[in-house]
Copies of this chain bind each other. A is one copy, B any other.
């Protein structure tokens, strides 16, 4: 029986978190080269064991078919040789990114001669809570290990077999490297209570990163005593100001709405200045219709558009994640900012205008991780901004805001060197 055929041993969540913490101490002391070598071995091993992973994935797909999951859900769950090769390529790219660990963030010497160095160090153990996408199992592990952190993964139950298969390959691969196998752990139970233990395990887990829909994220935020890095719900708005250029406006709107409607940086609501709308309504309607976009609007939109449904309170507040859009008419930037203050999720917000002062006013006042003047909200993304792979997009204000790359998985430590200094 190969190691891959063995059952995942039945440790408790606490024992797994403790094992990850022990491993994190070794991992924190490894060099960049040792970590990179390990990531390459991991990548090679994933490709070599693709058939095993696909066999495990097929069990999840079979369950999914029996439970009649949606096509979109099955697409996210489904692996292939090619997707596994993409995972491996992602790990090799992370190996190529700069290692933030050991960086001297600042240094100075006090008058008394004591030297102060603020050094970048790993967080320790990352708890990653996510839904059905098995790619997160690989991506998050790669980013955690490169930044010197151990990781405890808790994926969705519908991908449990796939995740178990992937973690076995990862642990087997790690046993050939300087990184302890225990540095990547999967909580393989479907017991909701057992997994919720993670949320309060402050002595062993340094940060929780929930990735998925709003209800998953809210559950973690509400139950956790471990600090949380909130990611990703994006109820993003595009505001067409009075002086918006028609071509720029429609290009940006269509790109932000249709390029990938299901992602968090897609546009969900168009806010439009009444004067702009009066002049350009036909072109706007035509552009939306050409793309097959369904319009939900306020009273003015419903009464003037040839086809528009009244937008409900929920539709203003939540993501469509599909080819639907809500449209709100306003008479000023103030009204636009108020609407965003009320319904926005502090992710990405854009203004289209030819008036630089209006743009500055909007960008200063809107409270979001990313604000845009005359560009699509789709750029709020680690790779689009040149950060490399990201572990998620933070919509909170503490620690990291916007796309989170490797530095978001680090903290700092003040290291003081003296010669007997006292105060």
> Interface of A with B (CB < 8 Å)?
25, 28-29, 108, 110, 114, 116, 123-124, 206-207, 221-222, 225, 227-229, 245, 247-248, 251-252, 255-256, 259, 359, 363-365, 367-376, 378-380, 384-386, 396-399, 401-402, 411-423
A415 and B363 in contact, given A227-B396, A255-B423, A398-B227 (Cβ under 8 angstroms): yes
CB < 8 Å: which of B110, B419, B421 contacts A386?
A: B110
Q: Is B374 a contact of A417 with CB atoms below 8 Å?
A: yes
* A225–B221 CB distance below 8 A: yes
- Which residues on the B side are within 8 Å of A371 (C-beta)? 413-416
Given known A225-B222, A421-B376, contact A401–B396 (CB-CB < 8 A) = no
CB nearest to A378 among chain B residues = B423
Are B421 and A374 touching (Cβ within 8 A)?
yes
Contact status B423-A384, CB under 8 Å: yes
A228–B412 Cα distance when bound, in Å, is 18
A411:B416 contact, CB within 8 angstroms: no
Contacts A222-B225, A379-B423; is A373 near B414 (CB within 8 Å)?
no
Considering the complex, give the chain B residue whose CB is closest to the CB of A202: B221
- What distance in Å separates the Cβ of A318 from its nearest Cβ neighbour in chain B? 16
Question: Could you say which residues of chain B place their CB within 8 Å of the CB of A114?
Answer: 375, 379
How far in angstroms is the closest Cβ of chain B from A70? Answer: 26
Q: A114-B379, A259-B423, A375-B421 are in contact. List 4 more A-B contacts (CB 8 A).
A: A221-B225, A248-B419, A359-B417, A402-B414
Q: Across the A-B interface, give the 3 residue pairs with the lowest CB-CB distance, nearest first.
A: A375-B418, A255-B422, A248-B420
Assuming A414-B370, A414-B380, is B422 touching A123 (CB within 8 A)? no
Give 20 A-B contacts (CB < 8 Å), ordered by A residue.
Answer: A28-B364, A110-B379, A110-B384, A110-B386, A116-B385, A207-B398, A222-B225, A227-B228, A227-B396, A368-B413, A373-B417, A374-B418, A375-B417, A375-B420, A375-B421, A376-B422, A376-B423, A379-B421, A397-B411, A401-B414
Q: Is the CB of A372 within 8 A of B416?
A: yes
B423 & A124 in contact (Cβ 8 Å cutoff): no
Closest to A341 in B: B25
Distance from A71 Cβ to chain B, minimum over Cβ atoms (Å): 25
Contact of A416 among B370, B397, B412 (CB under 8 A): B370
Whether the Cβ atoms of A369 and B413 lie closer than 8 Å is yes
CA distance A241 to B245 in the complex (A): 70
Task: Kindly provide the distance from the CB of A278 to the nearest chain B CB, expressed in whole angstroms.
Answer: 22
Chain B residue with the shortest CB-CB distance to A356: B417
In the complex, chain B residues whose CB is within 8 Å of the CB of A365: 25, 29
Residues of B near A225 (CB, < 8 A) are 221-222
CB-based contact B398/A411 at 8 Å:
yes
- Chain B hits for A374, CB < 8 A: 417-421
